[in-house]
């Protein structure tokens, strides 16, 4: 069987302020109505001998990943939770160990969750060709036919002659991101392709090569899977074992060292959406070269990407700029300098700013909450609970809460009492009292929560019972 392995561990810091550590770019709908993760899963439909995907993701994204797959009527064979980031080679190793539990002949198709591929039919044709080569023991990668000299990608150099009866080449060399002059030479030569980060090989074959070239990584990953534990719909790797794994990419750990690396050229409208300028390039533009999202008004604006999430953007006299507005931040940059957004993200981290981690609207497994107003001793939130969902049974040491129902019906546990609160009604949760909020209805429950007390941090939560396995 063909087992897709979707790698969903990145944070996409170059797409801040839309992409945040707890809500990264693969979980965003940047191109079209679906998120990048959803599109990655959906473009697999139609491939022969297709098994359900294995998704490898950060623990903090687990409920978002599961919910986004559910929204498109897709399910994962496994959602594996990485306790720490260790790059792509260990992530694929743990997926390979897991796939072999169910299928000793499993062939893996490794896909980053955050790429755009406009021509899915061409992509599937390349995958089908790669599947045949993988059955022969080859380790296949997909090289993107370059459209221009690009300094932001690594390249794959091919040997001169096609492999008989295929459209594939033997890999001669993986090369680092070049300077502009070198990139121009690569494109003119016709022997180089962009490194897509997509791979295909038999699971057992990948592990054989990994064990040969990096036995420490192989051993740590094997132990992490052997000692993994089930957690609802997720598989939690053994943290101590996985932390011992070296951190490395598939390229460095295996593909650059193996004698059996094959590259299949792919020209399918691929883009890794690595920056706002690349997103501008692949988006539909108006006659002035502008891309608009949301509430935007312009005058004398050319070749700009303007995205409004909450408020009106009014732009005058801009050219070659990116403007992105969210509820808590506005980012303005020249398109030639969007790579430096990572420097802003670094400064935010150094200052312990929440804008690097969360949006004002925060997603939880039961729904969302959004901070509306906050001062030193009070905070106002808008809370939405999904139909049939409930918060944990909890208490707070430092705050009391007032709940006002504005939509739907709430089932409230407060101390020893359980009762119903309907629209335009309210209730009070005293400090130190066990409480729980549930939505027993068929429509989303929305409440306004007013917190008051000496400390209002999210870590002032003591959980006694939780449907989602949180501590």
Encoding tokens for residue 352?
């312990």
> Which residues, at least 6 apart from 223, have a Cβ–Cβ distance to it below 8 Å?
238, 241, 244
pLDDT digits (tens, 9 = 90+) for 209-251: 999 999 999 999 999 999 999 887 899 999 999 999 999 999 9
d(C-alpha 155, C-alpha 174), whole Å = 6
Q: Hey, how many other C-beta atoms are within 10 angstroms of the C-beta on 260?
A: 16
Mean pLDDT, consecutive 10-residue stretches, the chain (471 aa), reads: 94 93 94 94 93 94 93 93 94 97 95 95 95 95 94 90 86 92 92 95 97 97 95 90 95 94 95 93 95 97 97 98 97 95 96 93 93 91 96 96 97 97 96 97 96 92 88 69
Nearest to 108 by CA among 118, 117, 116, 98: 98
| N-terminal to C-terminal alpha carbon distance within the chain | 37
| Inter-residue contact 111 to 38 (CB < 8 Å) | no
Mark residue 269 as left, alpha or beta (left: phi above 0; alpha: psi -120 to 50; beta: remaining): left
Q: Residue ranges of the domains in the chain?
A: 2-271, 287-345, 361-465
Distances (CA, A) of 42 to 53, 68, 131: 11, 12, 19
Query: Which pTM value belongs to this model?
Result: 0.90
Task: State residue 295's pLDDT score.
Answer: 97
Distance between alpha carbon 168 and the CA centroid of its chain, in Å? 30
Q: What is the phi/psi pair of residue 132, to 5°?
A: -65, -40
Q: What is the pLDDT of residue 469?
A: 79
The C-alpha atoms of residue 345 and residue 454 are separated, in whole angstroms, by 30
- Rounded-to-integer distance, Cα 449 and Cα 428, Å: 10
Q: Which CATH class is domain 361-465?
A: mainly beta
Q: Is 331 helix (H, G, I), strand (E, B) or coil?
A: strand
Whole-angstrom Cα distance, residue 387 to residue 443? Answer: 6
Q: Tell me the per-residue pLDDT of 357-393, one tens digit each, with 9 for 90 and over.
A: 999 999 999 999 999 998 889 999 999 999 999 999 9
- Residue with structure tokens 């019972």? 465
Residue 213's pLDDT is: 96
The pair of structure tokens assigned to 320 is 């070659």
Q: What does each C-alpha distance from 181 to 172, 184, 189, 191 come to in angstroms? A: 21, 5, 12, 16
pLDDT of residue 468: 85
- Identify the pLDDT of residue 470: 75
Residue with token string 């209730």: 427
Q: What is the pLDDT of residue 262?
A: 95
pLDDT at 203: 97
DSSP 254: I
pLDDT attached to residue 66: 93
The CATH fold of domain 2-271 = Spore Coat Polysaccharide Biosynthesis Protein SpsA; Chain A (3.90.550)
**127/264 Cα distance (integer angstroms):** 9
């Amino acid at each position: 069987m063909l087992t897709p392995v979707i790698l969903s561990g990145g944070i996409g810091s170059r797409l801040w302020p839309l992409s945040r550590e707890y809500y990264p770019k693969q979980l965003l709908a940047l191109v079209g109505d679906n998120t990048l993760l959803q599109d990655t899963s959906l473009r697999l439909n139609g491939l022969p001998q297709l098994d359900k995907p294995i998704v490898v993701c950060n623990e903090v994204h687990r409920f978002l990943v599961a919910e986004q797959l559910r929204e498109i009527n897709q399910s994962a064979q496994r959602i594996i939770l990485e306790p720490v980031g260790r790059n792509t080679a260990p992530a694929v190793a743990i997926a390979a160990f897991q796939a072999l539990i169910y299928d000793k002949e499993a062939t893996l198709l490794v896909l980053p969750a955050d790429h755009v591929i406009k021509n899915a039919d061409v992509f599937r044709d390349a995958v089908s060709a790669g599947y045949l080569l993988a059955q022969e023991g080859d380790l296949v990668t997909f090289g993107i036919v370059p459209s221009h000299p690009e300094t932001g990608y690594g390249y794959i150099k091919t040997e001169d002659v096609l492999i008989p009866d295929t459209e594939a080449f033997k890999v001669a060399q993986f090369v680092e991101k070049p300077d502009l002059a070198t990139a121009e030479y690569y494109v003119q030569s016709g022997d180089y392709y962009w490194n897509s980060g997509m791979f295909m090989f038999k699971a057992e074959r990948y592990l054989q090569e990994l064990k040969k070239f990096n036995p420490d990584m192989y051993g740590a990953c094997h132990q992490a899977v052997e000692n993994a534990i089930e957690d609802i719909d997720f598989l939690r790797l053994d943290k101590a074992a996985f932390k011992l794994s070296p951190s490395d990419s598939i390229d460095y750990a295996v593909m650059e060292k193996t004698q059996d690396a094959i590259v299949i050229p792919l020209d399918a409208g691929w883009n890794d959406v690595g920056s706002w300028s690349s997103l501008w390039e692949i988006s539909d533009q108006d006659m002035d070269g502008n891309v608009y999202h949301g509430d935007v008004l312009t005058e004398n604006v050319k070749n700009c990407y303007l995205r409004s999430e909450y408020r009106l953007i009014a732009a005058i006299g801009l050219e070659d700029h990116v403007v992105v507005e969210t509820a808590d931040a506005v980012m303005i940059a020249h398109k030639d300098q969007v790579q430096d957004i990572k420097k802003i993200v670094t400064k935010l981290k150094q200052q312990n700013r929440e804008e690097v981690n969360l949006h004002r609207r925060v997603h939880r497994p039961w729904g969302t909450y959004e901070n509306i107003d906050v001062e030193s001793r009070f905070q106002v939130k808008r809370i939405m609970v999904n139909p049939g969902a409930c918060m944990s049974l909890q208490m707070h040491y430092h705050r009391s809460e007032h709940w006002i129902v504005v939509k739907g019906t709430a089932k409230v546990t407060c101390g020893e009492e359980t009762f119903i609160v309907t629209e335009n009604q309210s209730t009070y949760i005293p400090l130190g009292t066990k409480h729980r909020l549930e939505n027993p209805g068929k429509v989303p429950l929305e409440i306004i929560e007013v917190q008051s007390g000496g400390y209002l941090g999210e870590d002032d939560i003591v959980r006694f019972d939780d449907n989602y396995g949180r501590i």
